[in-house]
Amino acid sequence: MFGFMKKTMVDQADALSGRDTRMPVPDHHEVLDTPPAGPYPEGAQIAEFGMGCFWGVERIFWRLGQQNGIITTAVGYAGGYTANPTYEEVCSGRTGHTEAVRVVFDPRLTSYEDLLKVFWEGHDPTQGMRQGNDAGTQYRSMILYRGEDQRKAAEATRDAFQPALTSSGYGPITTEIVPAGEFYFAEPYHQQYLSDAKNPNGYCGVGGTGAVCPIGVARTDG
C-alpha cells in the first residue's frame, strides 16, 4: 500500500511536501525517564544514526544505560526532504528519509567513537537500501554528523571497519555519512516501542555481521 520495497532515492522535486505541524513528543522516556526532545543537560552531545528498523536500534542504545552515559534516546526521520513526515509517508519512499535514532549522551562517560562502535557492529552497513528482510530507502545505513569532529570520527571508524568486514566476506560499506539536518520525531507510539511498558515481547530483526570495529585504531584527536 505504501511502497515498502522502494529501493531508489526519490528526487527532491518529486518528494512529498509534508506539513508545518510538528509531531508531538512524549515528555519522558519509557525506560530512562528523561525528556526525549529536551531540554538536555548542559554539556550533553547528540549522535544520530540510521541502521535499519528504528525500534530495535533505539533499544540497542538505551540498553547501554545511564551509567554508560546515555541520557535519552528517540526515534525519528532524517536525511530526506519532507517536513514533518508521517510513518506511512516515509515508508512510501517519497520523503527521502531514513528511519533514524537520536542518542543524547554525556561525553564524560562515553565517547562518540564508542557509540560509533555500537553503530558499526550493530547492523550490516554493506546492504544499500535495506537491512535484512526490511527493504526500502527508509532502512539505509546513515551517520548524521554534527561538526567536524564527528565527521572525522565517522570516516575514520568506517575506514578501520572495512578490512574487518572484507575479511569476513562482506562487500564495501554503503553507509552515508552526511551533515545532520532536521531530525523529525516519529509518532509517539514508535518511541521506545520495544520497551517493557509497550511491547515486552516485541520483535525487531536488527543484527550485526559479527565483525569487530577496532575503534582504538580509529580514534582521532579532532
Q: How far is residue 113's CA from residue 119's CA, in Å, rounded to a whole number? A: 10
* C-alpha to C-alpha distance for 40 and 105, rounded to whole angstroms: 9
Enumerate residues 6+ apart whose C-beta is below 8 A from 163.
none
Residue type, 211: A
C-alpha grid cell, residue 177: 555519512
75, 97 contact by CB (below 8 A): no
Count of alpha carbons within 13 angstroms of residue 54, beta-carbon side: 29
The dihedral sign for the CA sequence 213, 217, 219, 222: negative
Give the whole-angstrom CA distance, residue 15 versus residue 45.
31
Which of 53, 91, 204, 213 is flagged as catalytic? 53
Which residue type occupies 16?
Answer: L
Is 53 annotated in the active site? yes
DSSP string for 42-65 = TT-EEEEEE-S-HHHHHHHHHTT-
Counting Cα atoms < 13 Å in the Cβ hemisphere of 58 gives 28
Q: Which helix (H) or strand (E) holds 153?
A: helix 148-167
Catalytic annotation, residues: 53
